[in-house]
Chain A
């Protein structure tokens, strides 16, 4: 089976996130006074061939934690969902 995986990588809590801080500083200038706790990150999408959802999740988790995120400074959230026949 084929599974669509999405990995979201962002700075660990307590680790400086200068991109988010810069964006957040600009918000009042744009009138977004009600927005706070902004965090920046990156999203990676890929397709995993696996026997079941648990195996796909395990592969995606390993890829996320070995390569896509540096666990010293980043966290990664991984989600997989089955792909329909013929979907990319």
Chain B
């Protein structure tokens, strides 16, 4: 029996899709590239919208990608509880598609940021952090110009009170409100984060802290489908 099938959405200008598929393969999940014009995501247990510059980031990051044919299927899957993860540009796409609250603005300070940052788990009620502990700290790479998360005060209070803030930066690099690095929808099955967990999955890359996040996501996909591969993979790596 194999692990869950994860659709990795590719827009013109996506550039982290292969890293994502590679990271998934080490977790005994199968990542499959899905071109953005595909209208159906039937047969997939989970969806990842990877990083990059979808449609050249013209207008605003994610603004055009949101209208790609595949996004209808992503929205439908999200509504039905399928785990959906947006990484970096994928996070921007999911906020533009209103699958996640808030928006991502140009970094405070006006600089493109490419560095490792420390993040802290703020809630475990998302598919990305379900297997972690509140307060757990992770070193993850960031690589973005528009990572400055914002939302109105009322939304922020809701995010806080319903445990939708999955990760916070220990030291805020980009001006995000509440130092938010990752945010989930109310149900916890849709999550977006600016850091790149797929780039922190082997010691060679400087950190393996991204692995626990993706493991948690893969496990949620496997739990949903009853597929046992990912569960076994987590047991092995946890040993």
Residues of A within 8 A of B (CB): 15-16, 18-19, 22, 67-68, 70, 72-73
Residues of B within 8 A of A (CB): 59-60, 63, 67, 95-96, 102-103, 105-106, 108-110, 148, 150-152, 175
For B63, B96, B103, B105, the residue with the greatest tally of chain A CB atoms inside 10 Å of its CB is B105
Q: Contact check, B103 vs A73: say whether CB atoms are below 8 A apart.
A: yes
Task: Please pick, from A19, A22, A72, the residue contacting B150 in the complex, using a CB distance under 8 A.
Answer: A72
Which residue of chain A has its CB nearest to the CB of B98?
A72
Please give 19 more A-B residue pairs, beta carbons under 8 A apart, in addition to A18-B106, A72-B150. Answer: A15-B105, A15-B150, A16-B105, A16-B108, A16-B148, A18-B109, A19-B106, A22-B110, A67-B63, A67-B67, A68-B59, A70-B60, A70-B63, A70-B96, A70-B103, A72-B95, A72-B102, A72-B152, A73-B103
What is the CA–CA distance of A16 and B60 in the complex, to the nearest angstrom?
16
* Chain A neighbourhood of B103, CB < 8 A: 70, 72-73
How distant is B147 from chain A, measured CB to nearest CB, in Å?
13
What is the CA–CA distance of A16 and B149 in the complex, to the nearest angstrom?
11
* Chain B neighbourhood of A68, CB < 8 A: 59
| 7 pairs of A and B residues whose beta carbons are closest in the complex | A72-B103, A73-B103, A18-B110, A70-B103, A18-B106, A73-B105, A70-B60
Assuming A72-B151, A73-B103, is B108 touching A18 (CB within 8 A)?
Answer: yes
What is the CA–CA distance of A78 and B102 in the complex, to the nearest angstrom?
24
How distant is A34 from chain B, measured CB to nearest CB, in Å?
26
* Chain A neighbourhood of B152, CB < 8 A: 72
What is the CA–CA distance of A70 and B103 in the complex, to the nearest angstrom?
8
